[in-house]
Chains A and B, each alone.
Chain A
């Protein structure tokens, strides 16, 4: 690794190292025809509301890394990790937010906050994990345990696949998520218990944001982008209103969201067509 830009999370290296040369990744410039594949718009809702897709596009835009956004129905299947979004940069195909961040780091592109010392980098990674776990588990619970949402989910499968494949793939997805939530000991909890856990995590985040614009230090980090993207998703879909209402009392989080919204307004409008 000597001489190479250190990626933000080294756990990403073994997978990519198996197939690609890290030196080659670092050496090659950013390709002008880079494409960021996101789930089709009617699928976005079931992919955690598209939080990681929003976060990835914001991240690339903040680094001024040009990328065309393309919405496809098979982004999860296209992604080497089995989850979207997928970045195609030259001959490399990188799936999911965190590996994409690491890929950019390896090429020498990083947010200012990434020049922090190692302990701060570990802190960023910890916050990313915390946000991913707390928000994605809650959203997945609300999506798959809630019978009234199933109609919307089924409709998105109907729009993308013909009968009877739409039913088969819906059931596949339902049981996959159900089993995941069961193994994470979430599925059998009452809704109030899940929301309480979510509230506790946000309480911590709220305290962390006390007197600060960002979670870590004075500059925006990947953790801030991810937190903002999840908050954006809660604002976008009325099915998550109950969750959003829990955050009303957390003034620091609300200020954080308002501040980030102002800063990222152009990116959201131009790249993702989100208000």
Chain B
């Protein structure tokens, strides 16, 4: 014989909350996140729900390894409705660290890190990281992060970094040293009183000393930009990500827009805008369709000022405009990609499970992939000319188009690997194209 107990009907109230395992975390900080709502519980179901809320809130603080909540009858009270709640936490170690490998855009890297979580007892974190990439990329970074207004969703962070990158497609090396200050806050919009949209505002201040050093055989257009520059910029980024998977989504939209103004100090002065959109939908159970679009432009703050190759846009690569080599579309000189002021790229993708294995859910990370990519990279003068002449033929004639098919693998929830057979259909003579197999690994894709 089985009976069902409706916890909603079980009257209960919380007499006390005990916390154990606290060594470094600030009492007031903890009290703020536990709150008093548990004491307002009137039935047992409410008590359990609120306890679960508190547990997830405490875990989010990043101060604790584990949080266990035990609800027990309060023996000291005669009433059986009285309960005591015991919160057992295990704090993160004072110093932690690790070594891990990661995949960036066509580059593997290994990172070693050292971090001090909850350093002052209120969710602050100090971390130091060293990354070495397969393309001679190195990065040293020290970051201090603290919640704003004791809210773990809002962050303020300061980083000091020194990095070195080898941009072999444009034949130069770039050494950067600088400071970034980030403020990250979440937002919610109720669209048409129906759709709740959650996103993040990110405001970044960056002060970077940049040193560009060309190869011995670089084109003169690159060589003449050698030397030191100081960029001081403020950037606003708006991020809405409703995808169910970062690398291989089956549904959801993604929107990232950013606007950056450089010239608050230093000798680099520009306005730069960039946006990325993605929308993914699965139809007929197994067919995932995806539309992508990215665009951007950069303009100097004063007419006549030059934009450095470091800040310009590039197009082409196995995860962007497929069928073109990395930075392969756009102006070139002596095998060096020079970049340009504006670009747009769109993609239409179709993902399907492997033939005859569509019911095997364990193979969700591996799919067939067919695509069309179309895009263009232009100078601001070309755009002005198109507007002045009211003639879009120039714009259309320079557009690049490629189609292809292949396999895509989603690594964890971060990177994706693509192996495609590609046909670049529309190209310019100066472009570096790749007709045939193309392999790429990365985080961002179009």
Contacts and interface: CB of A to CB of B under 8 A. Distances in A.
Q: Are A and B interaction partners?
A: yes
A80 interface: yes
A165 B226 contact: no
Given A77-B213, A91-B334, A165 B220 contact: no
A80 B229 CA distance: 19
Contact of B266 (A19, A93, A162): A162
Contact of B227 (A74, A91, A93, A163): A74
B228 A77 contact: yes
A138 B227 CA distance: 27
A63 interface: no
Among A74, A88, A164, A169, max chain B CB count under 10 A is at A74
A73 interface: yes
Interface in A81-110: 88, 91, 93
B216 interface: yes
Contact of B216 (A18, A78, A91, A162): A18
Contact of A73 (B212, B227, B266, B334): B227
B228 A169 contact: yes
Contacts of B216: 18-19, 80
A161 B224 contact: no
Given A18-B216, A168-B209, A78 B223 contact: yes
Interface string B209-227: 1001100110010011011
Contacts of A93: 220, 223
B220 A91 contact: yes
Contacts of A78: 223-224, 226-227
A162 B265 contact: yes
Interface residues of A, number: 18
Contact of B217 (A19, A73, A88, A168): A19
B223 A161 contact: no
A77 B223 CA distance: 8
A124 B223 CA distance: 32
A159 to B, nearest CB: 12
Given A19-B216, A80-B216, A91-B220, A165 B227 contact: no
B409 interface: no
Interface string B249-286: 00000000000000001110000000000000000000
Contacts of B267: 161-162, 165
Interface string A19-30: 100000000000
A157 to B, nearest CB: 11
Interface residues of B, number: 17
B345 interface: no
A165 B334 contact: no
Interface in A169-184: 169
Interface string A130-166: 0000000000000000000000000000000111110
A160 B190 CA distance: 51
B239 interface: no
B230 interface: yes
A198 B213 CA distance: 36
A80 B218 CA distance: 10
Contacts of A19: 216-217
Contacts of B213: 77
A77 B226 contact: yes
B265 A161 contact: no
Contacts of A74: 226-228
B145 to A, nearest CB: 25
Contacts of A88: 220
Nearest to B334: A91
Nearest to A70: B224
A55 B228 CA distance: 27
A163 B265 contact: yes
A162 B265 CA distance: 7
B228 A161 contact: yes
Contacts of B266: 162, 165
Contact of B230 (A72, A77, A80, A161): A161
B133 to A, nearest CB: 24
A31 to B, nearest CB: 12
A110 to B, nearest CB: 25
9 contacts: A74-B228, A77-B227, A78-B224, A161-B228, A164-B230, A165-B228, A165-B266, A168-B209, A169-B228
Given A93-B223, A162-B267, A164-B230, 12 more contacts: A18-B216, A72-B224, A74-B226, A77-B212, A77-B228, A78-B224, A162-B230, A162-B266, A163-B265, A165-B230, A165-B266, A165-B267
Interface of A: 18-19, 72-74, 77-78, 80, 88, 91, 93, 161-165, 168-169
The 3 closest A-B pairs by CB, nearest first: A74-B227, A77-B226, A77-B227
